[in-house]
Amino acid sequence: MNSFYKTAETFRQGAMTLPQEYYTDPAILKKEMKNIFTDSWLCCGRCDDISESGKYKLINIENESIIILRDENRKIQAFYNVCRHRGTRICTKEWGNLSKTIQCPYHGWTYDLQGNLCGAPNMGEVADFDKIDYPLHPVAIQEWEGFIFINLSDNPADFHLEYAPLMNRFSEWNMAKLKTIDIKTYKANCNWKLIVQNYSECYHCPLIHPLLADITPYTEAMNDLTSGQFLGGYMGMKTESITKNGKLSGPAIESLSGENLSRVYYYAIFPNMFLSLHPDYVMFNTIWPDGPEKCKIDCSWIFSKKVKGNVNYHPENAIDFWDKTNLEDWDICEQSQLGIKSRKYKPGPYSGQESLLAAYDEYYLSVLNKA
């Protein structure tokens, strides 16, 4: 996608792109899964994805499958999709509705929506068997600004401490009250990090997205988070918003200050989230590796609840613009993947307009190689 112009204080002189193996080697991906995706807070969508009791969604991360659901008390829960009897996956559909229980299709072990085992056929004669000893394995879960995050670590970092730099940064958008209007899922034939790196620079915008470059002159952009797990900043806009016709596609978010009505903000949130804030909507992406040379990207658009069913608003003008832009990005990332696989590929120097890529690589390597 797009992003930011370098600032002198954040540009890493001599910074180079990552070596080939970081985009092709299954051993690197295995290490990423262990040190990054199993040990970080991962964005998994919005709370309104599962707005009613019994609704669930699945999140699949390499060999792990996670059930995220809303229980009868309207609390969001997360569990490993693993029956405690013989390990069978319980839920198989990506989205669904449960009654008051979750039943394994193999032998009928049944759990309530808090994960407690409440039914285990023919286990009565097993000595010392107690249902209380066999709940579904829980997953750490956190809600923030209407987003759902999970952490697969047995000892997850404190979310509020880790996300302290973001806690009040986006309060003007009041994102918890925005509603999902559309979700599009894409598959790209490239390493997941190429998607992240592409998002974090607009060096490519004049050639790949000329219309976007006209709307938001990237040479005037400013970064305000320039190191660590949160990277990004803002760009000024020549139009009311980033849409097909340059007009607002929904009502301007009421609590925005005057300066934010003429800006778009882009943040890469390590490891798997992009957050793009516009005057009338918020777009966010979640990125999921699917092997070393493939990935899945879920892109969602959230608007004021006033948009739904109101013929005066046209969210499709924003959605269609970014759908086209996304496809342009995935295509060029796939071309990068093909080039990186060449025996002639060697790391090349980052330009001054790619300072966030150098910052991203630095943080990525520090987490990948942690003890």
| In the chain, where the domains are located | 1-40+174-371, 42-162
- Closest CA relative to residue 205, chosen from 2, 351, 6: 2
Q: What is the pLDDT of residue 9?
A: 38
42-162 shares the fold of 1-40+174-371: no
∠ CA 108-112-114, nearest 5°, is: 140
Average pLDDT, the chain: 94
pLDDT classification of 12: cutoffs 50, 70, 90: low
Domain 1-40+174-371 is of which CATH architecture? Alpha-Beta Complex (3.90)
Average pLDDT, stretch 221-250? 95
Average pLDDT, stretch 153-175? 96
> pTM (2 decimals)?
0.94
Residues sharing a CB contact under 8 Å with residue 228, sequence separation 6 or more, in sequence order: 165, 270, 359, 363
Q: Write the pLDDT tens digit of every residue in 246-261.
A: 999 999 999 999 999 9
Instruction: Give yes or no for residue 221 having a pLDDT over 90.
Output: no
On the CB side of 265, CA atoms within 13 Å amount to: 21
Average pLDDT, stretch 277-289? 98
Q: What percent of the chain has pLDDT over 70?
A: 97
Instruction: Give yes or no for residue 341 having a pLDDT over 90.
Output: yes
Q: Report residue 320 as tokens.
A: 């269609």
Query: What's the CA gap between 136 and 256, in Å, rounded?
Result: 43
CATH number belonging to domain 42-162 = 2.102.10.10
